[in-house]
Structure 1
């Protein structure tokens, strides 16, 4: 986690100094590494210790997403079904970066359908679009969504082409050959997101210390999206329990 901009408040400055000290300590533990078998073992142990230190300081945000009771609703059994929704964290400070997954996300196209039809990734992450058709059917994946537009051109079965999505937001996917094909990629600002289960429960693990906003995104917006402040302390990382209630107003 790197702060590129100087904090604008004394509290922010204190947190930045604390993060910098923690990062320097981690760097001293993790490297540099020397060549040789014995040195390699020692280096591996130090890197494992540094990783454990980072994991120990990470927090978790968990809770339940529900829909506010409507007028005339007798009990919770009459509550409408949750929409397809994502809960994610957005840093309050600008210029904060996070480690991204090393492997790209993947979307198949067998049967002229995007699979999965909805994909959630972090900004800066790569997505590989695989033409996994059994029959000799070509596809051309493209999007005209602002900030993330692309056109992969025609490619045959067995071939995969990738795109790096840099800008957070919603990306609508289409195929110029099959007009009925459509899909969605939601690009979250951080790798800290979750899709609630059928009961609305969610967990976001491994959150670095800092100040965030817990936000929601809906594939088909029906309710007002939420934005809730969350703080994960560096000195005492903990699990935050935050329930999110959706309403139409």
Structure 2
């Protein structure tokens, strides 16, 4: 679009150039023809003067020489006018060349400015995408913190269990009891948790006893509606702690 605009303006400025050049060239050709005719007259007068100089009186000689000198001066004027027209024609063309150079410089500057704006926008979008990725990563980490860990042996680090694709759907249905998932397909390799020995679903809580054999429990199975503050121990570990 910008290219078309610059080109249109430049072509508009060139519209009268051919006519002006043609006029100047015609004038230059006319001056050249006058000069040639005048030089022929000067040659004729010079030959006539040389052939009759001995018979001419001093006054006649002076008049003849003055006439030839005047014609030479006139020829010089024609030549000067021709040179002026040539310089004017050159300046006329050079003006359009300078205008073209200036338009090209402005066009390149516009391209660089637009390119810079596009790069800045791209960098901004990239930064936004990175922020979105970081945000999604933090959300995933927060979600992973809520996923129960597999049963562990003493002295081993608890790995995070695999989450089946149906877990988010189960959560949105607000399942609160193991019986709600009995009819759902269960991966036989999926680990079980809680007192009900079912797979993970809904909201779960981990026992703060590092030696707890079960470790993760469904809220409904242990009578919870929200996560309690501080440490929490499952019913079995609570009984064992009371015995101690």
When the two structures are superposed, what TM-score results if normalisation uses the length of structure 1? 0.15
More strand by share: 1
More helix by share: 2
